[in-house]
């Protein structure tokens, strides 16, 4: 009996293709319930998971295995061309339900380690990228049994990018405008940046007098060249802060900032500030400022006064000088400043204060009533406030030539006229007294003195100013020994009479007549000689 071993492929038996992989023979007898062992000359190689078909071939005329009474574990097939069964069919299908052959197989299966195959991921020792990598392995044994497992390798990028901004930038405004630009080239300085996994996004924002501007949220962006950096419009300076943010693919970020400072090249510059002014009441106060704004740049002036809560423009005060005429004491401590307007910026000067000193008070008093007669003397005294100043006395509008103090003394009818005192205090403020008139007291009396005399004497009487008078002197016999004509310029004008050195001693009669010849008065005198 021949036993053949096939590898079944392609389809289930009895279909498919059978490939002979081993064959062996054994002699059999007619004995019932006999088991036969067939040994193959060499161990066949059986692929993993193979379907093995065992074929028992009995030669024609030989002994055919008989039926046995054991149970059938699986269908038995038979084929015999001589019997009209060219292809294997089950014995049961031919009606031999109790006939079957029990075939057992035994042998040695080599122990082969399972095969481990990686079906996904990266092999051991590889460099894993940022992110999660899934590694999958399949283990397969000799029998074709498999088992699968997976694990992940997660690489986190926690390293921030590095970024360095340029130094702070300072620019003057471009000529004739109120902003500064970075021309291209070289343009606005750019930051430098790097990352262990590469920077994937660079964004920026600018905040300054022009508001806030931001770049697109993706890509690598730089502040565009020829950007206008503005002043803030009042201080002559504008500061814009530029902030760059570098980000990598993992979302790590780092920022840096720098500033662009724009200075107004046409800002008004004050070289001489307004100064506080001390003025006497009634005088003119003058404030001034000296400023420039650069060649070719406009410069406007507007003076202001502080009203206690705000600065108020003074109408028409638009030059470098502010004049306040005839100041009143109510303007004392008023405060002023000037607003200078350049091309782009407004600059306020320092404040200056107006100090108004009151005029001194001056009062004149006389020791006796100022209407005098010959022989009387009058004193004028002054009362001034504040004290400590200087005095200037005027008579009939003319400054008295000598340095006089606070009073005038021993004024007689010879000192008739209008007196006025001009007083200057220590602040330089001038006060003027009211006019004080010293006049003659009208009297019918005739004054001749000295009497007795040596022939030289003076006559006074209340004459009319510029009235022509005649003086006659008679001796006791009635003979006129002297005559002179005078035109006095003031009341009680002193008229000097000289009768001569040779006049005899004795009594004489002096007669004074007016311009119309009327008798004004006469008086007897005594002439004697020592």
The two tokens of residue 255 are: 């920022």
Structural tokens at position 529: 């000689």
Give the mean model confidence (pLDDT) for residues 72-82. Answer: 76
Assigned fold of 446-527? Immunoglobulin-like (2.60.40)
Residue 249 has pLDDT above 70, yes or no: yes
Rounded to two decimals, the pTM is 0.59
For 269-295, the three-class secondary structure string (H helix, E strand, C coil) is EEEECCCCEEEECCCCEEEECEEECCC
Domain ranges (residues) in the chain: 2-94, 115-155, 162-263, 269-357, 361-440, 446-527
Residues in Cβ contact with 399 at an 8 Å cutoff, skipping those fewer than 6 apart? 392, 393
- CA–CA gap between residue 62 and residue 58 (Å, rounded): 6
Q: Per-residue pLDDT averaged across 451-455, rounded?
A: 94
Q: How confident is the model at residue 324 (pLDDT cuts 50, 70, 90)?
A: very high
Among the listed residues 151, 156, 149, the one whose alpha carbon sits nearest the alpha carbon of residue 134: 151
- Three-state DSSP at 497 gives strand
Does the pLDDT of residue 50 top 90, yes or no? no
| pLDDT above 60: residue 109 | no
Which of 92-101, 105-114, 238-247 has the lowest average pLDDT? Answer: 105-114
The number of residues in the chain equals: 530
Q: Which residue has the higher pLDDT, 300 or 32?
A: 300
Burial 238-274 (b: 16+ CB within 10 A, else e): bbbebebbbbbebebebbbebebbbbbbbbbebeebb
Q: Read off the pLDDT of each residue in 239-263 and give the average, rounded to a whole number.
A: 96
pLDDT of 473 > 90? The answer is: yes
**Is it true that the peptide bond before 386 is cis, omega within 30 degrees of 0?**
yes
Q: Do domains 269-357 and 446-527 have the same CATH topology?
A: yes
**Considering only the top CATH level, what class is 361-440?**
mainly beta
CA distances from 288 to 181, 184, 241, 306, 363 (A): 37, 45, 39, 17, 37
Residue 108 — pLDDT band, cuts 50, 70, 90? Answer: low
Say what the pLDDT of residue 273 is.
Answer: 98
Residue carrying the six token digits 């790097």: 194
How would CATH label the architecture of 162-263? Sandwich (2.60)
Are 423 and 407 in contact by the 8 Å Cβ rule? The answer is: no
Per-residue pLDDT at 75: 77
- Across 91-104, average pLDDT: 70
Which is higher by pLDDT, 74 or 264?
Answer: 264
Cα–Cα dist 63/48, whole Å: 35
Residue 322 to residues 126, 156, 284, Cα–Cα distance (Å): 87, 74, 10
Does the pLDDT of residue 522 top 90, yes or no? yes
Contacts of residue 452, Cβ cutoff 8 Å, sequence gap at least 6:
525, 526, 527, 528
pLDDT in tens, 347-371: 999 999 999 999 999 999 999 999 9
pLDDT, greater one: 388 or 2: 388
- The CATH homologous superfamily for domain 269-357 is Immunoglobulins (2.60.40.10)
Whether pLDDT at 106 is above 80: no
Q: Which long-range contacts (CB under 8 A, 24 or more apart) does 349-352 make?
A: 349/270, 349/273, 349/274, 349/289, 349/291, 350/270, 350/273, 350/274, 351/274, 351/306, 352/273, 352/274, 352/275, 352/276, 352/277, 352/287
Residue 13: band (very low, low, confident or very high) from pLDDT cuts 50, 70, 90: confident
Q: Burial-class residue 346 by CB neighbours within 10 Å (0-12, 13-18, 19+).
A: middle
As separate numbers, helices (DSSP H) first and strands (DSSP E) second, the chain gives: 0, 43
Report DSSP state, residue 159: P
pLDDT in tens, 191-208: 999 999 999 999 999 999
pLDDT, tens digit, 9 for 90 and up, residues 157-186? 999 999 999 999 999 999 999 999 998 788
Lowest mean pLDDT among 59-73, 78-92, 261-275: 59-73
Closest to 189 measured CA to CA, from 218, 223, 215:
223
Q: What percent of the chain has pLDDT over 90?
A: 67
Q: Pick 501 or 112 by higher pLDDT.
A: 501
Nearest to 427 by CA among 362, 364, 358: 358
């Amino acid at each position: 009996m021949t036993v053949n071993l096939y590898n079944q492929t392609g389809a289930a038996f009895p279909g498919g293709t059978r490939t002979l992989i081993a064959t062996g023979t054994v002699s059999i007898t007619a004995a019932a319930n006999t088991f036969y062992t067939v040994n193959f000359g060499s161990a066949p190689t059986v692929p993993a998971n193979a379907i093995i078909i065992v074929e028992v071939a009995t030669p024609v005329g030989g002994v055919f295995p008989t039926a046995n009474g054991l149970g059938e574990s699986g269908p038995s097939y038979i084929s015999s061309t001589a019997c009209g069964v060219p292809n294997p069919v089950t014995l049961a299908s031919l009606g031999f339900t109790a006939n079957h052959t029990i075939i057992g197989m035994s042998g040695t299966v080599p122990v082969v380690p399972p095969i481990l195959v990686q079906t996904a991921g990266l092999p051991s020792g590889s460099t894993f990228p940022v992110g999660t990598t899934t590694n999958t392995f399949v283990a397969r044994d000799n029998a074709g049994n498999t088992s699968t497992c997976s694990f992940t390798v997660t690489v986190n990028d926690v390293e921030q990018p590095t970024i360095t901004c340029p130094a702070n930038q300072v620019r003057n405004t471009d000529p004739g405008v109120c902003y500064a630009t970075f021309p291209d080239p070289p343009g606005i300085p750019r930051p430098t940046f790097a990352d262990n996994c590469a920077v994937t996004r660079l964004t920026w924002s600018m905040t300054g007098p022009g508001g806030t501007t931001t770049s697109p949220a993706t890509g690598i962006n730089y502040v565009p060249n020829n950007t206008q950096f503005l002043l803030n419009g009042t201080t002559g300076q504008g500061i814009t802060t530029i902030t760059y943010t570098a980000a990598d693919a993992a979302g790590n970020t780092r920022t840096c900032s720098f500033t662009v400072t724009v200075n107004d090249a046409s800002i008004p510059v004050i070289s001489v500030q307004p100064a506080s002014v001390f003025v006497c009441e009634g005088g003119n106060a003058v404030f001034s400022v000296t400023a420039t704004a650069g060649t070719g740049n406009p410069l406007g002036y507007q003076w202001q006064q502080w009203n206690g809560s705000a600065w108020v423009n003074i109408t028409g005060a638009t030059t470098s000088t502010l004049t306040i005429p005839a100041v009143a004491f109510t303007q004392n401590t008023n405060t002023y400043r000037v607003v200078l307007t350049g091309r782009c910026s407004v600059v306020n000067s320092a404040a200056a204060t107006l100090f108004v000193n009151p005029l001194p008070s001056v009062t004149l008093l006389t020791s006796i009533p100022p209407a005098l007669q010959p022989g009387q003397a009058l004193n004028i005294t002054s009362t001034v406030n504040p004290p400590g100043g200087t005095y200037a006395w005027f008579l009939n509008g003319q400054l008295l030539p000598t340095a006089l103090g606070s009073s005038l003394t021993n004024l007689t009818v010879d000192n008739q006229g209008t007196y006025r005192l001009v007083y200057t205090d220590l602040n330089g403020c001038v006060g003027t007294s009211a006019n004080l008139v010293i006049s003659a007291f009208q009297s019918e009396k005739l004054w001749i003195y000295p009497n007795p005399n040596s022939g030289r004497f003076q006559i006074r009487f209340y004459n009319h100013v510029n009235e022509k008078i005649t003086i006659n002197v008679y001796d006791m016999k009635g003979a006129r020994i002297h005559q002179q004509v005078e035109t006095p310029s003031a009341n009680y004008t002193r008229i000097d009479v000289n009768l001569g050195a040779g006049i005899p001693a004795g009594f004489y009669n002096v007669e004074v007549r007016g311009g119309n010849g009327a008798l004004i008065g006469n008086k007897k005198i005594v002439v004697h000689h020592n």
